[in-house]
Amino acid sequence: MAILRTAARPLLASVFVSGGFRTLLDPRSVAPAAAPVALPVAERVPRLPEDTERLVRINGAVQLGAGVLLATGRFPRASALALAASLVPTTLAGHAWWKTEDPEERARLRTQFTKNVSLFGGLLIAAADTHAKPSLAYRSRTAASAGRRRTRRAGRDLGAAISGAAHDVRSAAGTVRDRLPVG
């Protein structure tokens, strides 16, 4: 499976590396198409610039950087999530087939939209891939469960120790009482 991951990640990342690089070089070519999606996002997310060209450049940089990280196997889960997040506005802005009347253009955009939805699914699978190791959530649940078992066991052991000590104290008190002169 490691060989499959080693080959699959660069293949999945290649479209993002090339597209991100192209967008960084020429953000003006996609800025008009991105404006209907980019500007509403910028209004809702604080600290994002409201300049479409800069937003397109940021998205391109995320795709290039996360694509390189995914291709090289560095932070693959985080980079896959970053790519998935960057793919949503790209898909909505660039492939809105439902807004086009021309049948040929509509079919082309629908194909590109479907391709991006497929890439999104692949990225989600890559983001969930734990390299056959238990996920952090599973390890957390297991550790918490083991901690609860150890706590219960320690509580029972402590209770037994206290009960045994109390018995020893009562026995010792009885022995002392038996040895006292009656008078």
* 21 lies in the same domain as 89: yes
* 108 lies in the same domain as 161: no
pLDDT value of residue 1? 56
* 143 lies in the same domain as 183: yes
Please indicate whether residue 176 or residue 15 has the higher confidence score (pLDDT).
15
* 53 lies in the same domain as 138: no
3-class state of residue 153 by DSSP: helix
* 122 lies in the same domain as 139: no
| Mean model confidence pLDDT for the chain | 87
What does the pLDDT average to over 50-75?
A: 93
Rounded percentage of the chain residues whose pLDDT exceeds 90: 44
Distances from the Cα of 116 to the Cα of 37, 67, 81, 136, 179, angstroms? 16, 15, 14, 28, 91
Domain boundary among 106, 128, 150: 128
Within 10 Å of residue 75's Cβ, how many Cβ atoms? Answer: 13
What digits encode the pLDDT tens for the residues 84-120? 999 998 898 888 888 889 999 999 999 999 999 999 9
* 120 lies in the same domain as 138: no
* 138 lies in the same domain as 105: no
* 85 lies in the same domain as 160: no
* 83 lies in the same domain as 35: yes
Q: Which residues contact 69 (CB under 8 A, 6 or more apart)?
A: 75, 76, 78, 79
pLDDT value of residue 15? 95
On the question of pLDDT at 61 being above 60, the answer is yes
In whole angstroms, give the CA distance from residue 50 to residue 144: 45
Number of domains in the chain: 2
Closest to 72 in 3D by CA, of 6, 120, 123 = 6
* 77 lies in the same domain as 115: yes
* 21 lies in the same domain as 87: yes
Whole-model pTM: value is 0.68
* 112 lies in the same domain as 166: no
Domain range for 77 is 2-128
